[in-house]
Structure 1
Amino acid sequence: MDELKTRASDWFNQLRDTIVAAFEAAEDSTASAAPAGRFEVTPTTRAEGGGGGRMSVMRGGRLFEKVGVNISTVHGTLSPGAAKAMASRGVPGIEDDPRFWASGVSLVAHMQNPHCPAVHMNTRMFWTPGAWWFGGGSDLNPCIEYDQDTAQFHDTLKGGCDRHDPTYYPRFKAWADEYFYIPHRKRARGVGGIFYDDLNTGDWEADFAFTQEVGRTFLLAFLPLCDRRRDTPFTEADRETQLIHRGLYAEYNLVYDRGTKFGLESGHDANAVLMSLPPLARWP
């Protein structure tokens, strides 16, 4: 299993580098008198030791108002609360032996232009003495919705899923619709995408290949939407709509998001865990 862990973490690092390069290239190709944004990279660690990663954040760019791309590989012992939560999901033996290892890449992009959709993506592998699994997905969060963009995003994700299993897209789309729902607002935080967790079919190579597909497909699904919308003129009313929609994103990530809760409970760098929060938001 150690060799498989290394392969997974190495690939997540490659995916991180690919996305960072693609986002900086998108900055360079965006028409603006402002300087093109660049990522600032900060090492991250767990408070209790046991691995770390890199937090890469770009602020105030031409295309991106704030975008973070985080990579981490961590290990240690789960807190009793985290172990209990995993046991409730069916992870065998985790409360008796709460050791864990996890590696993955996670990103959230908040855009300058309100017509250009915000987006989230992550892929990860998790290991405990009793089990291993993959998880991840991507979802689109426009503040001003365009049916064309939503359809194109979903069609691209479906194509990636279908290359591995025709049942994946309908299953993981439905999972995303449920997972990214904000109960206290009685609405979704965006227009969905795919989400999956605890993926262990018994074939590590197949599950890893699908997780790689999710990472590669993300740029194919998202960047064309940026090309279409980044130069659309917008008004102060559009900006107000964007800031209020970001409030939904902040509420969801602080109250419900499983990754936020795990990152804080496992002692990872709080700034990296909360990287997903928008730079500015507003509530009505």
Structure 2
Amino acid sequence: MVDFDKRKARASAWFRTLRDDIVAAFEALEQARADGSPVRFDVTETRRGEDGGGGLMSVMRGGAVFEKVGVNVSTVHGMLGDRAQKAMAARGVPGMAEDPRFWASGISLVAHMQNPHTPAVHMNTRMFWTPHAWWFGGGADLNPCIEYAEDTAHFHAKLRAACDAHDPDYYVRFRAWADEYFFVPHRGRARGVGGIFYDDLNTGDWDADFAFTQSVGQAFLPAFLPVTERRLDVAATEADRETQLVHRGLYAEYNLVYDRGTKFGLETGHDANAVLMSLPPIAKWP
């Protein structure tokens, strides 16, 4: 019989390791442009309501590179409420009414940048378990307010390489899924230049699906850091800043109205500040 407790522990530990690697890389990038004083994320422990689990919310604000960046990691468990049970049933998960236990672990990252020429970015990977099913999900997408074709190409090339190492069909499938998922219907446009998105990944081979999810997470820094470093010193005008703030309004609209992770986190009682970490520090609407 498969020992899912060991699998859960492996996944949870790896998400924490990925979080530590990204936090260290972002602090180093910020530190390189600081005045010598230490640059650190503010780290807060989070708890999930009356049920079990929690995590770490790590946020850095007002730096030379990042205006606001959050890197959250959590491992939560408990009983799904009626709405969440219905959502699971709609996704084809059987037996939730009889046994609504769940366990979920993952990392979620959103960065809003100081320079309007440097793109905002989102990344997450996660594992979800119930007594009836398990799956992985995640992805990453780039959100420039001023697009550079070479930045978009670089970001997608790194994600494609991560996908191709596991299945030659993954990139095409998951890029198309991202284009569909990160679309803002009431604005009739995408929130950025896409990336990859996948959910409900269960091929029947847990180790293979976990390895793919690890590859997606490991591809993030090579995909994002060169793009960031390339644009840090591009001169920005007041008009560029206005474009950035209006674009952030679009991002906020999407995350509050459509994002699955936001809905799930709030409905299952996770720390609201951690769930809403993705919102930009300042935004405008036309």
TM-score range, shorter chain: over 0.9
Cα distance in 2, alignment partners of residues 35 and 155 from structure 1: 36
Report the RMSD for the aligned CA atoms in angstroms: 1.1
Say which of 12, 16, 31 aligns to 2:15: 12
- Unaligned stretches of 5+ residues in structure 2: none
* Structure-2 residue corresponding to 1:98: 100
Seq. identity, %: 75
CA deviations on 1:156-176 (whole Å, 9 max, x unpaired) are 100110011110000000000
1:28 is displaced (CA, Å) by: 1.7
Cα distance in 1, alignment partners of residues 280 and 127 from structure 2: 26
1:217 is displaced (CA, Å) by: 0.2
Say which of 48, 51, 69 aligns to 1:49: 51
CA contact (8 A) 1:27 1:36 kept: no
* Structure-1 residue corresponding to 2:151: 149
CA contact (8 A) 2:51 2:79 kept: no
User: Aligned with 1:19: secondary structure?
Assistant: helix
CA contact (8 A) 2:69 2:111 kept: yes
User: Aligned with 1:231: secondary structure?
Assistant: coil
User: Aligned with 1:254: secondary structure?
Assistant: helix
* Structure-2 residue corresponding to 1:23: 26
User: Aligned with 1:134: secondary structure?
Assistant: strand
**Residues 91-240 of structure 1 aligned to structure 2 (within 5 Å):** 91-240=93-242
Cα distance in 2, alignment partners of residues 137 and 151 from structure 1: 16
User: Aligned with 2:236: secondary structure?
Assistant: coil
1:37 is displaced (CA, Å) by: 3.9
The answer on 1:263 being equivalent to 2:258 is no
Amino acid across the alignment from 1:122:
N
1:62 is displaced (CA, Å) by: 1.0
Cα distance in 1, alignment partners of residues 38 and 176 from structure 2: 37
- Unaligned stretches of 5+ residues in structure 1: none
Amino acid across the alignment from 2:47:
T
Cα distance in 2, alignment partners of residues 34 and 262 from structure 1: 40
Deviates further, 83-92 or 51-60:
83-92
Amino acid across the alignment from 2:51:
G
Change (3 A) 1:196 1:69: same
Cα distance in 2, alignment partners of residues 234 and 183 from structure 1: 30
Cα distance in 2, alignment partners of residues 186 and 217 from structure 1: 30
> When the two structures are aligned, how many residues end up with a matched partner?
283
CA deviations on 1:12-69 (whole Å, 9 max, x unpaired) are 0000000000000111223x65966420000000111300000000000110000000
User: Aligned with 1:139: secondary structure?
Assistant: strand
The answer on 1:2 being equivalent to 2:5 is yes
